């Protein structure tokens, strides 16, 4: 017998269509994932996501010194030799590469966090209190992301993780 124009499957199995036309899974409404199930899934992927965020953050950071020194991916004015911008670029290129590889991640991230805090207070804060007004959002965000990596480490896709396994 057909319900709302839908015939039962061969062998008498129902499609789970109610007379009102709503689908049911095995005679009961579809179940939403529980918070516990979502937490388990998040816990399973959190270390991998930590590594991916570290890698992407390092790649985003590396754009700045690469632009200053090599004009790639976008050409910028080259800083004067041993100026604050040159020193910041040198720190960012060396420690950005270390962070990308996950090499001494906690120490590297701590140094980068301090460098970005310094950059914010020297280069952005004098132009206004709020980061949106002084163009310092990226510096603040990088600073706190690096502070997080200093506490959390580099995740499983890092040189540090390979060393820990030995």
CA dist 69 and 77 (Å) reads 9
| pLDDT of 19 over the 90 cut | no
- Do the Cβ atoms of 17 and 4 come closer than 8 Å? yes
- Helix (H), strand (E), coil (C) string for 24-93: CECCECCCCCCHHHHHHHHHHHHHHHHHHHHHHHHHHHHHHHHHHHHCCCCCCCCCCCCCHHHHHHHHHH
Tokens of 139: 């510096």
Please give the DSSP secondary-structure letter assigned to residue 157. Answer: S
Question: Which residue matches tokens 């966090």?
Answer: 113
- What count of other Cβ atoms lies within 10 Å of the Cβ of residue 75? 10
Range 8-23 average pLDDT: 48
Q: What is the tens place of the pLDDT at every residue in 83-104?
A: 999 999 999 999 999 999 999 9
> What's the chain's average pLDDT?
88
Q: What is the pTM of this model?
A: 0.78
Tokens of 18: 């109610």
CA neighbor of 65 nearest in space, from 89, 83, 88, 86: 89
Q: Maximum CA pair distance of the chain?
A: 85
Q: What is the tens place of the pLDDT at every residue in 112-131?
A: 999 999 999 999 999 999 99
């Amino acid at each position: 017998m057909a319900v709302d124009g839908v015939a039962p499957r061969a062998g008498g199995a129902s499609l789970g269509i109610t007379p009102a036309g709503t689908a049911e899974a095995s005679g009961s409404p579809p179940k939403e994932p529980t918070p516990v199930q979502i937490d388990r899934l998040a816990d399973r992927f959190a270390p991998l996501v930590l590594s991916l965020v570290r890698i992407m953050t390092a790649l985003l950071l590396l754009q700045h010194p690469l632009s200053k020194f090599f004009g790639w991916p976008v050409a910028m004015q080259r800083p004067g030799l041993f100026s604050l911008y040159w020193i910041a670029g040198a720190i960012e290129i060396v420690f950005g590469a270390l962070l990308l590889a996950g090499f001494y991640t906690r120490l590297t991230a701590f140094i980068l966090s301090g460098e970005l805090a310094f950059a914010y207070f020297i280069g952005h804060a004098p132009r206004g209190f709020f980061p949106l007004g002084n163009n310092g959002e990226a510096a603040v965000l990088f600073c706190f992301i690096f502070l997080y990596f200093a506490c959390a480490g580099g995740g499983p896709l890092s040189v540090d993780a390979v060393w820990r396994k030995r």
